[in-house]
Chains A and B, each alone.
Chain A
Amino acid sequence: MIEIENVTKIFRTKAGTVEALKDVSLKIEKGETYGVIGYSGAGKSTLVRCINFLETPDIGAVTIDGTRIEIDNEKLFLVKDGEKTRLSEKSLNKLRSSIGMIFQHFNLLDRSNVFDNIAYPLKYTGKSKKEIHDRVFELLELVGLESKVNAYPCELSGGQKQRVAIARALANNPKILLSDEATSALDPDATESILNLLKDLNKKLGVTIVVITHEMGVIKSICDRVAVMEKGKVVEEGRVYDIFSNPKQPITRKFVNSTSSLSKVDELVKKDSPLVKSQAGESRLYRLVFDKSVNNPVISEVSRKFNVDFNIILANVEAIGDQTIGAMIVKLSGEDKAIDAALTYLSATKVRVEAV
């Protein structure tokens, strides 16, 4: 659906040049929800703006639903049947109107009521008043805001404003919806309801969603795949479950830890907390990770079999999509030999064992 190839974007300012994107390539499949996560300044906003060309890359190629656009020296060229023609302003605007986008600060027109905000992209496109009217009410029903049709944005809550923005973004039946930190300015309740709405829309309309965020929780709850960005580069990419169960890059680990309490153990160790102190020869501390392949009640099984005691200090189970991943920090006590045997057995049952 979206293919980004070798896209580079450099911002030139008086203070110097900033390489916002360095040779980035990505492929987003039709109908999936794709997350891009990174800290501010990582280039994720720039990357998503290269999909609808709010930012023009310096060089690279972007293919959207079969339309291939090559960029050379910040100029856009449409490639069709091997022929390269300059993309006109008009075709660019048309392309943009076929991609929906929502923003952190909603960006609604404050002087237009909900109806007129949603009708914005429909007007001046040759549609009759009745068509626009019917479409707006259809969209209002879709986002559950029919009762607010005559309200102005200043009379709406953050979550309601984002619903209006989503309705507006979907007005022209786009196949792609770009979401730029759409829940970052919302409270937890509104965040959840907006994320659920996006999930529903993805299922109901089959719209491909690209989500930019700095919150791993957002990725966890709605994305199928995720790209982790750092300093203008995609440093890790894959299925959300795989990234969660086995993060490779330090930055990815940091993001994964941000939504799980398991990283707290490191703090406890650092602070020399009695919770994690192992008395000489008596007990040892391990991190056990259970992924989707572990179904058996391994802890009690091992405990019985090898005569070791598990003292669970911290435990966490994450639901990612319809799969779970769990991890716990345990203190093992028993004979050294028995503990070693128990750990070997755990590893054999696909539980990942790490000494803390």
Chain B
Amino acid sequence: MENFIKTVAPNIWAYRTRFIQSLLDTWSLFLIPGIISFILGIFFGVVLTITKKGGIKQNTVIFRIIDTIINIFRAIPFVILLIFLIPFTRLIVGTAIGVRGAVIPLIFGTVPFFSRQVETALANVSPGKIEAARAMGSGIFGLIFRVYLHEAVPELARVTTITAISLVGLTTMAGAVGAGGIGSFAINYGQGQGHPDIVNVCVVVLLVAVCIIQAIGSFVAKKTTNRTFIHKIYKKDNI
């Protein structure tokens, strides 16, 4: 194994500790903003869905504000957003570099995109189901959690996959401006020092990561379409 790596990618072996560190950094850059963005994206997606015209809690003002903010942040290219947010990032987490410094811009880069995706996913829940639930006396939280989010699970799994893959791309870009991770490793040690094998290995690693994310996403989507992930079996005589 050691010999194999030494022959195929000698420079990766030489910089193996930095390589592993960059993988761990990318993992953090993916996971922390990922989880936060997931929660915020679902939240804003739900708010957009219920406040839009004809929604269950129509509110044009709130809808317009969130809609506009999302449009603005989606219009700014991520590299520009990174620089633009530096003062704000410093204010919030105290630094604009490293993994800590990259979390804020990554959230800003992901949430607007994901919120839109969630909004689309929820729009696919048929209005008839909402109407039926209203007729059964469900309030706003019942409608959100028991109908919208419940019925949209496979669609949400799909859009989460798309967003997660785009987030992997964003982490490498953040790396370019000092966040560390596999992106900066490829730029500084691969391209910067003229080691093409490092660039190649980074490409392969990212490729594998994306494939894994896609496979998990597709699996969950398939297993939740027209059914629950874990089957519940009910029998007449016992609970």
A and B physically associate: yes
Chain A contact residues, CB within 8 Å of chain B: 52, 54, 89-90, 93-99, 101, 103, 105, 107-113, 115-116, 120-121, 124, 129-130, 133, 136-137, 146, 149-150, 152-154, 165, 168-169, 178
A103 close to B226 (CB less than 8 A): no
User: Are B234's CB and A121's CB within 8 A?
Assistant: no
Query: Of B131, B138, B146, B151, which contacts A110 at CB under 8 A?
Result: B151
Partner of B128, one of A105, A120, A124: A105
Question: Which of chain B's residues 16-45 have a Cβ closer than 8 Å to chain A?
Answer: none
Instruction: Establish whether residues B226 and A111, one from each chain, have CB atoms under 8 Å apart when the complex forms.
Output: yes
Do B226 and A120 have beta carbons less than 8 Å apart?
Answer: no
A-B interface, 3 closest residue pairs, ranked by CB to CB distance from nearest? A97-B137, A107-B132, A107-B128
* Minimal beta-carbon separation of A269 from chain B (angstroms): 44
Verify if B233 is at the interface (C-beta below 8 Å from A). Answer: yes
Q: Which residue of the partner chain, among A97, A150, A152, contacts B226 with CB atoms under 8 Å?
A: A152
Which among A105, A112, A169 has the highest number of chain B CB atoms within 10 Å?
A112
Complex contact A111–B135 (CB within 8 A): no
CB atoms of B133 and A120 under 8 A apart: yes
B90 contacts partner chain A, Cβ-Cβ < 8 Å: no
Q: Is the CB of A111 within 8 A of B227?
A: yes
- Are B132 and A153 within 8 A (Cβ)? no
Apart from the given pairs A120-B133, A121-B136, 18 other A-B contacts in the complex at a CB distance below 8 Å = A54-B134, A93-B137, A94-B137, A96-B134, A105-B128, A109-B147, A109-B150, A111-B154, A111-B224, A112-B228, A113-B228, A116-B232, A120-B136, A136-B234, A150-B231, A150-B232, A152-B226, A169-B136
Q: Which A residues are CB-close (under 8 A) to B128?
A: 103, 105, 107
Residue numbers in B under 8 Å from A150 (CB-CB): 231-234
| Residues B239 and A146 in contact, CB atoms below 8 Å apart | no
Q: How far is the CB of A215 from chain B (nearest CB, A)?
A: 20
Q: Are B234 and A153 in contact (CB under 8 A)?
A: no
Q: Which residues of B contact A154 (CB under 8 A)?
A: 226
Q: A112-B228, A120-B146 are in contact. Are A54 and B131 (CB under 8 A)?
A: yes
A-B CB contacts (within 8 Å), total count:
86
Give the docked Cα–Cα distance between A159 and B236 (Å).
23
Contact of A96 with B151 at beta-carbon distance under 8 Å, contacts A107-B126, A111-B227, A150-B234 already known:
no
CB-defined A-B contacts under 8 Å, sample of 13: A95-B137, A103-B128, A103-B131, A105-B126, A107-B126, A109-B151, A110-B151, A110-B226, A111-B154, A111-B228, A116-B232, A133-B234, A178-B135
Q: Which residues of A contact B146 (CB under 8 A)?
A: 120
> A105-B128, A111-B151, A150-B234 are known contacts. Are A54 and B135 too (CB-CB below 8 A)?
yes
Q: Which of B122-148 contact A (CB under 8 A)?
A: 126, 128-129, 131-139, 142, 146-147
* B223 shortest CB reach to chain A, Å: 11
CB neighbours (8 Å) of A129 from chain B are: 239
Can you name the residue of chain A whose Cβ is closest to the Cβ of B236? A137
B182 CB to nearest chain A CB (Å): 37
Residues of B within 8 A of A105 (CB): 126, 128
How far in angstroms is the closest Cβ of chain B from A278? 54
- B153 in the interface (beta carbon within 8 A): yes
B→A interface (CB under 8 Å): 126, 128-129, 131-139, 142, 146-147, 150-151, 153-154, 224, 226-228, 231-236, 239
Inter-chain contact A107/B129, CB cutoff 8 Å: yes
* Pairwise interchain contact A146-B236, C-beta atoms closer than 8 A: yes
A110 to B125, CA, bound (A): 10
Q: Which residues of the partner chain B approach A178 to less than 8 Å between Cβ atoms?
A: 135
In the complex, residue of chain B having the shortest beta-carbon distance to the beta carbon of A129: B239
**Hey, which chain B residues are within 8 Å of A113, CB to CB?**
227-228, 231-232, 234
User: CA A345 – CA B194 in complex, angstroms?
Assistant: 114
Decide: B239 and A130 in contact? CB cutoff 8 A: yes
* Nearest CB of chain A from residue B193's CB, rounded to whole Å: 52
Residues in A whose Cβ lies below 8 Å from that of B151: 109-111
Q: What are the residues of chain B within 8 A of A95 when measuring CB–CB?
A: 137
Chain B residues near A137 (CB-CB < 8 A): 236
CB within 8 Å for A96 and B226 given contacts A107-B126, A109-B129, A133-B234: no
CA distance A110 to B154 in the complex (A): 11
Q: How many angstroms between the C-alpha atoms of A52 and B135 in the bound complex?
A: 7
Q: Which residues of A contact B134 (CB under 8 A)?
A: 54, 96
* Distance between B111 CB and nearest chain A CB, rounded to angstroms: 26
| Interfacial chain B residues near A93, Cβ < 8 Å | 137-139
Q: Let me know if A101 and B232 touch, CB within 8 A.
A: no
* Cα(A318)–Cα(B151), bound, Å: 45
From A52, which residue of chain B is reached at the shortest CB distance?
A: B135
Please, which residues of chain A bring their CB within 8 A of the CB of B138?
93
B218 to chain A, nearest CB (A): 17
Nearest chain B CB to A296's CB is how many angstroms away? 50
Measured CA separation A221–B42 after assembly (Å) = 48
CB within 8 Å for A103 and B239 given contacts A110-B226, A111-B226: no
Instruction: Give Cα A134 to B35, complex, Å.
Output: 40
Q: Is the CB of A89 within 8 A of B137?
A: no
In the bound assembly, the distance between CA atoms of A109 and B150 in angstroms comes to 9
Q: Is B139 touching A101 in the complex (CB atoms < 8 A)?
A: no
Contact between B239 and A111, CB atoms less than 8 A apart: no
Q: Which residues of B contact A149 (CB under 8 A)?
A: 234-236
Q: Beyond A111-B150, A130-B239, is A153–B226 a contact (Cβ under 8 Å)?
A: yes
